[in-house]
Amino acid sequence: MSARHAVVHGTVQGVFYRASAEQEAQRLGVAGWVRNLPDGSVELLVEGDDAAVEQMLAWAGRGPARAEVTGVDVEERPEEGLTGFAQR
């Protein structure tokens, strides 16, 4: 089990990034949340099975079809025991 915090940069707001992230997280079975930041980036916290967290981060680097991701800053975090995945 692992937890990661990520900030996704690029054209990631107004392209259904958060809704798509929630769908992908549910598909992968990871917990956490996603939210827009004032600077136009998107912030994620993801925790769960190591492989599923890595798959979610790989998806975050692509995003949905209309997104143009230019970079993802990732940090390891302690697990919080989250359940479910929510848009904030």
What is the rounded average pLDDT for all residues in the chain?
A: 97
Query: How far, in Å, CA of 65 to CA of 41, rounded?
Result: 16
Catalytic residue among 36, 62, 66, 88: 36
Q: Tens digit of pLDDT for each residue in 20-63? A: 999 999 999 999 999 999 999 999 999 999 999 999 999 999 99
84: left (phi over 0), alpha (psi -120 to 50) or beta: left
Q: How would you classify the pairing of strands 2-11 and 85-87?
A: unpaired
- The amino acid sitting at 50 is D
pLDDT band at 77 (very low <50, low <70, confident <90, very high): very high
CB atoms within 10 A of CB 27: 12
CATH 3.30.70.100 fits 2-79, yes or no: yes
Query: What is the C-alpha to C-alpha distance for residues 4 and 45, in angstroms, rounded to an integer?
Result: 6
**pTM for the complete prediction?**
0.95
pLDDT at 80: 93
Q: Where are the domains positioned within the chain?
A: 2-79
11 band by pLDDT with thresholds 50, 70 and 90: very high
Q: Give yes or no: 77 in active site.
A: no
Catalytic: which of 4, 18, 35, 88?
18
Q: For this structure, is 35 an active site residue?
A: no
